[in-house]
């Protein structure tokens, strides 16, 4: 039995068993596909079953990660984007920073793959978090990139035009997979894990956990141990978190940030931008005075709300979609 057919069977079986549980479901005509054939690696305890909170439909306690493929109708550029919703690695803002992204991308002829990656929130601090505090989300991202490349022909995708787009924690995950792609964090499962999991491009919208200052803050919250590298005369705010090892092979990146974001500060984006520039990686950054955090694609009164058009222009500039 082919992996995708098996996965679909698992979805239907799970659906029958959990019909009474308030789990997230995609819009009609789309099906969640489990990304792991069996149990996911490195499981963590959760406070309860997967749940969807109203009215924002944020998803919590995800232990069975899935991907949902949204194919374009009409024109198809061959490009694909794997979307990582944010939520502090504790929940997933799966509509605001997930399905609404797919509603924007597919009319542009871009296949959208929405990843519902594992998140947990147990005890005083979440058991899931930025790699390497927790490997779960990055394992799910690596696995999904391999699956998308494996099924590229079947899903009418160019295997050399597959990128990632993430918000907040998902923005960090976009950077993490752009810098941790040479080796899987888990034992190979099947042919998908022989495919490259390096994104051909990355879009990080108000990302977090990217500066040394952010890593120190995580450590002060008791989330992980962290030793600041010795960097004489360096501004810690603008120094890159060493757990995001940028190199010349890091994916070309688009960054968007508001200066008045008090959740994931401007220093995270600036630190990553500086490291990418030093490594010679193509990078474009848009910094706005106002906008705050967690605005997604929803229209606001601030100029930053026009960012989707900037991403479309950038994708044309780097050759991912036609001019």
Confidence of residue 47 (pLDDT cuts 50, 70, 90): confident
Position 22 scores a pLDDT of 65
For residue 175, how many C-alpha atoms fall within 13 Å in the half-sphere facing its CB?
32
Closest CA to 297 of 127, 103, 137: 103
Strand-strand pairing, 66-70 and 32-34: antiparallel
Instruction: Please write the tens of the pLDDT for every residue from 296-319.
Output: 999 999 999 999 999 999 999 999
Position 8 scores a pLDDT of 44
State CA 37 to chain mean position distance: 21
Say if CB 143 and CB 118 are below 8 A apart.
no
Question: Has residue 75 been placed in a domain?
Answer: yes
Question: Has residue 23 been placed in a domain?
Answer: yes
Instruction: Please write the tens of the pLDDT for every residue from 72-131.
Output: 999 999 999 999 999 999 999 999 999 999 999 999 999 999 999 999 987 655 678 899
Position 124 scores a pLDDT of 58
Confidence of residue 237 (pLDDT cuts 50, 70, 90): confident
The whole-number average pLDDT for the span 213-239 is: 61
Domain of 308, CATH number, reads 3.40.50.1820
Instruction: Please write the tens of the pLDDT for every residue from 178-216.
Output: 999 999 999 999 999 999 999 999 999 999 999 988 766
Question: Has residue 322 been placed in a domain?
Answer: no
Q: How far apart are CA 90 and CA 204, in angstroms?
A: 18
Closest CA to 163 of 84, 82, 107: 82
Position 57 scores a pLDDT of 87
Phi, psi at 321, each rounded to 5°: -130, 160
The whole-number average pLDDT for the span 270-293 is: 98
Strand-strand pairing, 111-116 and 66-70: antiparallel
Q: How many domains is the chain partitioned into structurally?
A: 1
The whole-number average pLDDT for the span 259-284 is: 96
Question: Has residue 253 been placed in a domain?
Answer: yes
Mean pLDDT of the chain: 89
Say if CB 193 and CB 143 are below 8 A apart.
yes
Better-scored residue on pLDDT, 185 or 6: 185
182: domain range? 3-317
Question: Has residue 276 been placed in a domain?
Answer: yes
């Amino acid at each position: 039995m082919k992996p995708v057919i098996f996965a679909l069977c698992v979805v239907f079986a799970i659906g029958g068993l959990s019909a009474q549980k308030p789990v997230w479901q995609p819009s009609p005509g789309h099906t969640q596909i489990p990304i792991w054939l069996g149990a996911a690696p490195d499981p963590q305890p959760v406070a309860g079953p997967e749940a969807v909170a109203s009215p924002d439909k944020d998803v919590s306690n995800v232990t069975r990660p899935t991907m949902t493929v949204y194919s374009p109708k009409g024109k198809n550029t061959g490009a694909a984007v794997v979307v990582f919703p944010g939520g502090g690695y504790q929940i997933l803002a799966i509509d605001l920073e997930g399905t609404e992204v797919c509603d924007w991308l597919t009319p542009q002829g871009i296949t959208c793959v929405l990843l519902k990656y594992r998140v947990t929130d147990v005890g005083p601090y979440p058991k899931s978090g930025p790699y390497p505090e927790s490997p779960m989300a990055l394992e799910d991202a690596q696995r999904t990139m391999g699956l998308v490349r494996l099924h590229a022909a079947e899903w009418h995708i160019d295997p050399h035009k597959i990128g990632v787009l993430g918000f907040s924690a998902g923005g960090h995950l976009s950077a993490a997979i752009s810098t941790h792609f040479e080796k899987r964090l888990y034992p190979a499962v099947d042919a998908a894990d022989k495919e490259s999991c390096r994104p051909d491009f990355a879009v990080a919208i108000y990302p977090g956990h990217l500066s040394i200052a952010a890593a120190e803050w995580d450590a002060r919250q008791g989330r992980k141990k962290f030793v600041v590298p010795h960097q004489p005369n360096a501004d810690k705010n603008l120094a890159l978190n060493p757990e995001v090892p940028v190199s010349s092979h890091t994916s070309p990146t688009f960054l968007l940030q508001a200066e008045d974001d008090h959740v994931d500060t401007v220093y995270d984006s600036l630190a990553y931008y500086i490291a990418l520039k030093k490594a010679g990686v193509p990078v474009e950054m848009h910094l706005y005075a106002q906008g705050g955090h967690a605005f997604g694609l929803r229209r606001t009164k601030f100029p930053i709300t026009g960012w989707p058009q900037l991403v479309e222009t950038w994708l044309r500039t780097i050759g991912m979609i036609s001019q």
